[in-house]
Amino acid sequence: MAGYDPRDFEDPVLDYDFNKIQNTSDLIDQMSVAGGFTATKLAKARDMLSKMFEEAGDEGVVNWISFPAALCATGTRGFFLELVKRRLVDVIVTTCGTLDHDLARTYRQYFHGDFELDDIALGQQGLNRLGNVIVPNECYGEILEAKVLPWLSEIEEERRVSSDSPWNGFGTVELCWALGDRIEDEGSLLYWAAKHRIPIVIPGITDGSIGAQLFMHRQRSPSFMIDVLADEEICSDLSWTSKKANALMVGGGISKHHVIWWNQYRGGLDSAIGISTAPEYDGSLSGARLREAISWGKIRPEAPHILVEGEASMILPILGAALLRQ
């Protein structure tokens, strides 16, 4: 049983002084002393993320980030784009939908909607609802098929010229770079990942529209394949060679698990920030508190870690405004 001393608790709770708030950083500074539950956690996450960014590019430091695809259907994509553009992260783990939304929004627009719209009526008009975002068919599947299938043919032709085993080593990292090399829009996440050769790992590559395009290409070229174990070699190399590993994990699922899974082989993450709305009581990874990963050896016992309970499309812009404004 832990023992406590009253002298362990000497920081008083202070009220907000809004007259002293000039910018987002000032607001978060006051959150840190005002308390109020999640406000304090957000302030700690800001400080940890700031240190993580300061260490970007240092020898032996690997900064991981994971997030779900839905956020890239919103303007929150801009947060991730800035991290990649500025080389503040070394590796991204996400889901197939991130590729879908990034490519689709590169060539078409998504639109504001509402959670309470009539989904039957929307479907009859070819309008897909993602929360309160509206995605017309022509802005998603149709444009992706029109763009990606010809690109896959180009990629295959290029790789067959350069290798007798064109698909050996062609995992999702190479796929993302090959797609990004064909994009000329600096508003694309794939564009910047390809430009800086930052790995994007998609463990569930078949679960999305791009995955469907890969399957369709396979019908035309039966030898085509995605070498997913090549991605695992990249994750393994990053884990085994890193002297320090930091992670920002947004949401949970396969993306979060892939980050902590590979870092267990080096004794766990050295710092970890999580953002999630999921509860802990159902046993899901999305709801699992970061301290649980310590028991698995996926986060070091001494590692600073914080989970901010909140919706990421609100939390990440606040952190971005505090840390990324130039």
Q: Which residues are catalytic?
A: 298
Contacts of 8 (CB under 8 A, 6+ apart): none
∠51-17-31 over CA atoms, to 5°?
A: 35
- CA dist 168 and 63 (Å) reads 27
- CA dist 30 and 307 (Å) reads 19
**β-strands 127-130, 244-250 pairing:** unpaired
* Residue whose token pair is 């900064």: 63
Residue 209's φ and ψ, nearest 5 degrees, are -65, -40
- CB-based contacts of 84-89 (< 8 A; 24+ apart in sequence): 84/189, 84/192, 84/193, 84/196, 84/198, 85/192, 85/196, 86/56, 86/324, 87/56, 87/57, 87/196, 87/198, 88/52, 88/53, 88/56, 88/63, 89/56, 89/63, 89/64, 89/65, 89/198, 89/248
- CA dist 320 and 315 (Å) reads 9
Nearest partner of 82 among 198, 171, 181, judged by Cα: 198
Q: Record the tokens describing residue 122, joined without a space.
A: 């929307």
- CA dist 205 and 190 (Å) reads 15
First-to-last C-alpha distance (Å) of the chain = 47
What one-letter code names the amino acid at 187?
Answer: G
